């Protein structure tokens, strides 16, 4: 079975594009991390606008199907409540995430991601596409984190692994629940024969092909000069859906680029999770749903922690638009692996490479 690591193996990172800065050791923003005079794009310098009302959807609402579909179509991002993830599990995953990132830099690098690997500690994979580094460190988990966690805590890794694995299980259930709503909104009734990897209803069928998922733990330290730094540069996500938990009590920082409004701050809402459309859902929706650019800005006195869960089809699944009403096809078919490999080498124009020319 093809894995996420197999897809990234053909686009390995250089060592200096893996190891984060030891943020505790710096008093000023170094030139390598200063975006003040960067040529990495005008999008960085568009100033945020006053907060708009990002849709907040109660999944227990009888109108949730239409509300989710409309939010995908108009924003490409929304927040959900009554999502089924317990506050106790969220507290546990916050604690374990903080336990890792509070370690000294030398200890965290014991879990360092390999150059062609998908999992482990390091900077964001989008780093090589920009001429400045980001004020960020992350830990990517694909399935079980046990191999890396055991390197960090030889005798105290079990609890970290148990919490992360339980969180991924619950996130997967939520992602599939949301995706069923979205596919129904797109006019795909019943059980689609070409989406055999998606349970209808959710089940633990051992013969069902495994979806492609990953959990990204993010940490954005407080920054001596936030105007110079960028937590995470503007990008779109590759998979179908991203479900983000912004840890309460830390700096918000997430901003989404909305047509006609510029950068809009996503204000954390107690008990809510942020959901955003990825490139693969944009392809499946035949361009109806935008995969929106988003970024993270940093703060002078507060750090930020978040957990992003990425959900996609199996690596060998062939993505193609779901057509409704005879609309012209806007994207050619592409496998999940092909698209991931394409975006690992071409961050900004991967979608344009699968777009049908009119």
Instruction: Provide Rg for the chain, Cα atoms.
Output: 20
The answer on pLDDT for 111 being more than 90 is: yes
Higher pLDDT, 217 or 267: 217
Supply the mean pLDDT for the chain.
Answer: 88
Predicted confidence at residue 358, as pLDDT, reads 72
pLDDT band with cut points at 50, 70 and 90 for residue 6: confident
Q: How far apart are CA 78 and CA 66, in angstroms?
A: 13
pLDDT band with cut points at 50, 70 and 90 for residue 41: very low
Helices (H) and strands (E) in the chain, counts: 9, 15
- Would you tell me how many other CB atoms lie within 10 Å of the CB of residue 357? 5
Residue 262, beta-bridge partner list: 258
The region of weakest confidence among 90-99, 249-258, 296-305 is: 249-258
User: Which residue, among 243, 233, 342, 210, has the nearest Cα to 283 in the 3D structure?
Assistant: 342
Structural tokens at position 358: 């009119």
Predicted confidence at residue 42, as pLDDT, reads 46
The region of weakest confidence among 69-78, 87-96, 181-190, 283-292 is: 181-190
Q: How many CA atoms lie within 13 A of 169 on its CB side?
A: 11
Q: How far apart are CA 132 and CA 148, in angstroms?
A: 28
- pTM of the full predicted structure? 0.93
Give strand ranges (E) for the chain. 48-49, 56-58, 77-81, 120-122, 137-141, 212-220, 232-235, 241-246, 254-258, 262-265, 273-277, 294-296, 304-312, 318-319, 334-335
Q: How far from 156 is each of 97, 103, 122, CA to CA, in Å? A: 14, 14, 21
- Catalytic residues, which ones? 304
Q: Is 155 strand, coil or helix?
A: coil
């Amino acid at each position: 079975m093809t894995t996420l690591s197999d897809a990234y193996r053909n686009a390995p990172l250089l060592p200096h594009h893996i190891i984060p800065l030891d943020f505790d050791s710096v008093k000023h923003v170094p030139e390598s991390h200063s975006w003040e005079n960067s040529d990495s794009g005008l999008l960085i310098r568009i100033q945020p606008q006053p907060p708009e009302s990002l849709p907040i959807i109660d999944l227990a609402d009888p109108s949730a199907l239409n509300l989710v579909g409309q939010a995908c179509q108009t924003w490409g991002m929304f927040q959900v409540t009554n999502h089924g993830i317990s506050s106790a599990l969220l507290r546990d995953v916050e604690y374990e995430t903080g336990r890792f990132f509070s370690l000294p830099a030398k200890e965290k690098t014991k879990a360092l991601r390999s150059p062609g690997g998908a999992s482990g500690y390091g900077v964001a994979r989008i780093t090589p596409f920009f001429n400045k580094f980001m004020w960020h460190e992350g830990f990517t988990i694909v399935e079980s984190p046990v191999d890396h966690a055991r390197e960090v805590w030889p005798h105290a890794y079990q609890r970290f692994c148990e919490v992360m694995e339980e969180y991924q299980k619950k996130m997967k259930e939520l992602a599939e629940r949301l995706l069923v709503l979205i596919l129904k909104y797109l006019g795909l009734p019943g059980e689609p024969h070409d989406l055999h990897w998606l349970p209808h209803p959710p089940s633990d069928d051992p013969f069902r092909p495994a979806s492609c998922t990953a959990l990204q733990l993010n940490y954005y330290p407080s920054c001596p000069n936030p105007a110079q730094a960028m937590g995470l540069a503007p990008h779109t996500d590759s998979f179908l859906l991203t479900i983000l938990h912004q840890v309460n009590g830390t700096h918000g920082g997430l901003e989404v680029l909305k047509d006609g409004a510029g950068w809009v701050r996503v204000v954390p809402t107690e008990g809510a999770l942020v959901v955003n459309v990825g490139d693969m859902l944009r392809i499946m929706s035949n361009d109806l749903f935008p995969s929106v650019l988003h970024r993270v800005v940093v703060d002078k006195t507060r750090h930020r922690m978040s957990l992003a869960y990425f959900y996609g089809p199996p690596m060998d699944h062939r993505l193609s638009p779901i057509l409704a009403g005879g609309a012209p096809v806007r994207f050619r078919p592409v496998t999940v692996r092909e698209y991931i490999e394409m975006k690992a080498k071409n961050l900004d124009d991967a979608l344009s490479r699968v777009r049908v020319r009119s």
